Amino acid sequence: MIKVAVFSTKPYDQEYFDRFADKGQLQFTYFDSPLNKDTANLATGFEVICVFVNDKVDRETVSQLAELGVRLIALRCAGYNNVDLDAAKEKGIRLVRVPAYSPEAVAEHALALILTLNRKTHKAYNRVREGNFSLNKLMGFNLHRKTVGVIGTGKIGATFCRIMKGMGCKVLAFDLYPSQKLIEEGIQFGSIDEVFQQADIISLHCPLNPDTKHMINRESLSKMKQGIMIINTSRGALINTPDILEGLASKKVGFLGIDVYEQEENLFFKDLSEMIIEDDLILRLISYPNVLITSHQAYFTREAMEEITHTTIDNIREYADGEKLTNEVI
């Protein structure tokens, strides 16, 4: 029996793990708390821990986990920028992830952000509920024939490219390794500067690493069209928040739709409706009428949750059975 500590657990996480886990092989214990250096002691007695995007698995946390006997970190997400890989390798802790889960879920949410920002359906909904049937200030634009820039054409980015191509858009993508299959499907590839300069809408679908951190900044914004729409359903730190606020204030950025935020670990997945939010940057973002923020829900579909749960369980089962770890990061 392998004992697994699940951090940052929400009711839906427990529901899906309880539904699909083989209770004869794996025993899950759920913690609401996120994992960090102050909560690592909760992993006492567990050989495996399961973490999510906003758990902080830094060097100090990894050291504590190793002392407690943790031998496997199972990420129930694709990204692993929140884990100190060198520290884990030094301590002999193995790391597995969920490399892909319903790319359609995230790509479709990116489209939802675009359509909502453009056609202002969220504002129209609130107006009509108050008996206001005016169309003033609700005018949008046709997506048809607009140029959509896509940065990153992995599984999610490729799915998004196809969706926007189906909407009648010209899709101009940037990736370090352009996809021949996408090219054959009519997707054009160019340099990142060409994407910045030509796109009417830019959607980010790349991982967060030292090369991509704050790729949307004052310099890159200066290359974009006036009134650019920027969509981010990938990682919050791809955008330099103070710089995007400058862009919004100058009207260089006409629309901003984000499902991720650089400091989201202090906010997202929590109900803060009765609290004072002590984050001036996000409060400024919220104040703009042309900004739409969702709280990391792009992945959140039934299909994606099933895939995440099945893959995470399979990753842990492979470890328990001494098999090759299909989705091992290190």
Active-site residue list: 235, 264, 296
Instruction: Give bridge partners of residue 27 from the DSSP assignment.
Output: 3
Bridge partners of 230, per DSSP, are 202, 256
DSSP lists the bridge partners of residue 228 as 253
CB 232 within 8 A of CB 261: no
What's the chain's Rg over C-alpha atoms?
21
Pairing type for strands 147-151 and 72-75 reads: unpaired
Contacts of 204 (CB under 8 A, 6+ apart): 151, 152, 215, 216, 230, 231, 232, 233, 234, 238, 239
Q: Quick one: DSSP state of residue 100?
A: -
Q: How many CA atoms lie within 13 A of 209 on its CB side?
A: 7
Identity of the amino acid at 77: C
